[in-house]
Chains A and B, each alone.
Chain A
């Protein structure tokens, strides 16, 4: 019940494409759903986050879609660039505590 399932494991898109990463959760107590970007050898960096009372949130080229009834949320990266090549993690927490991370998606954007 504490798991956050993330797919796909890896993703290759052309520059300008829109990669979509999906996550699903079981614990309805989760109330904060962040996405993190991690480059090799670095700590994760918060990209964008959403609360369950909102169905969509956009920040720059990043959009989260949230489906509370299905207990699913996804990340869309608009106009993807080679510099977006990284590992992306979805996560979920209750009040910002005990964050549970998805398994990660390795994204490669071809130039």
Chain B
């Protein structure tokens, strides 16, 4: 149980274009979803927190107009990287949380999306 999927798993786009990444909780309803970014051989950095039906909360230094997050339902959150540039190339990982599962503290992570901007 508590499976989170991401789509696509790997995407290549040209500089200046936008790309959308989907994060779905498959067998539970997630009240909160988180988006992380991970550069090669580095740790995960939290980008933003989103709750269903409300605006995302972005971490300091993350451009909200560049990384658009929509949390339209309790099972789906999307991250859109707008006007992508090569420096946006990274591994993007989402996670989902709901207080009703296990101890209520766990985050369940997706498999990640590798974005390469050429």
Chain A residues with CB under 8 Å of chain B are: 31-32, 34, 36, 41-46, 49, 51, 89, 93, 95-104
Contacts and interface: CB of A to CB of B under 8 A. Distances in A.
Interface string B26-57: 00000010100000001111100100000000
Nearest to B6: A43
B116 interface: no
A36 B6 CA distance: 19
A32 B97 CA distance: 14
A43 B32 CA distance: 18
Contact of B105 (A45, A49, A104): A49
A102 B34 CA distance: 17
A45 B109 contact: yes
Nearest to B93: A43
Nearest to B34: A99
Contact of B43 (A32, A43, A95, A104): A104
A100 B59 CA distance: 12
B15 interface: no
Interface residues of B, number: 26
A75 to B, nearest CB: 15
A95 B45 CA distance: 18
Contact of A97 (B32, B110, B114): B32
Contacts of B6: 43
Contact of B44 (A31, A41, A89): A89
Given A96-B105, A97-B49, A98-B49, A89 B43 contact: yes
B104 interface: yes
